[in-house]
Amino acid sequence: MIRKSGNRFSDKIMRLKIRPLSGNRQEPVADRPKSRPRGKAKRRPKLAPGSRLTQAQVDDIFARFAAVHPHPKTELKYTDPFTLLVAVVLSAQATDQSVNRATPDLFRIAGTPEKLATLGEQELTDKIKTIGIYRNKARNLIALAKKLIAEHGGKVPETREMLMTLPGVGRKTANVVLNTAFGQPTIGIDTHAFRVANRTGLAPGKTPLEVELTLDRIVPARYKHNAHHWLILHGRYVCKARVPECWRCIISDICLYKPKTPAPVT
């Protein structure tokens, strides 16, 4: 046994325990502090797949949109699937307002694929020259009209795959037409929907396709048909690109965007 010697080193030795080693040797081991019982760690809420929000928050967002605006619609003017298709093609990189100013006169004289194909590229260009990138759009629309006549009997196809074979028609345009003209629960991601989905944390993504696929997974079925209309309108009038108007946003308490824009001083 180690006796207390009266000096600091010996006193420290006395606080050691003896741990047996192999054979007859023993090794002193310092006392280890007893571990304290850990409290229960708080569980993080489970997020919806691909979202920064929980599924309950996602549901709440669309429930609020539905309560305020139960029947959202596109702001493009059209009369049938073909004129809607033309309007959506024209709206790429342009405002709905600029399209709506040009299409009434256009549709009066070329409201069918046959009439549009007969109109010709030059005259169509003159009709839509107030819209962005009008030359490319005129060329695509004439080719689109001719392809509808040649391959689809002049009818707008009702599948995304067939729509996307038409000149000037991408995934967003196809989704908007399927949703608005044919009542399918597709989600078209334009610049407004893309911004809202990322800014709020609802469906963050680097590409419109990534955002669309996340929304398709997490938006409740009962809200899916109107989902992109709500996101587009919210982005256009409330969650604006330069300065979001957070003070009048109905989902500001859920939205992850910070800092919130305060109400203007009047």
Omega prior to 259 cis, within 30 of 0: yes
Active site residue 17: no
Dihedral angle computed from the Cα positions of residues 233, 102, 123 and 154, in that order, rounded to the nearest 10 degrees = 50
Residue of 96, 127, 137, 190 marked active site: 190
Active site residue 190: yes
C-alpha to C-alpha distances, 42 to 45, 180, 254, nearest whole angstrom: 9, 45, 21
Tokens (6 digits) for 156: 């707008």
Catalytic residues: 172, 190
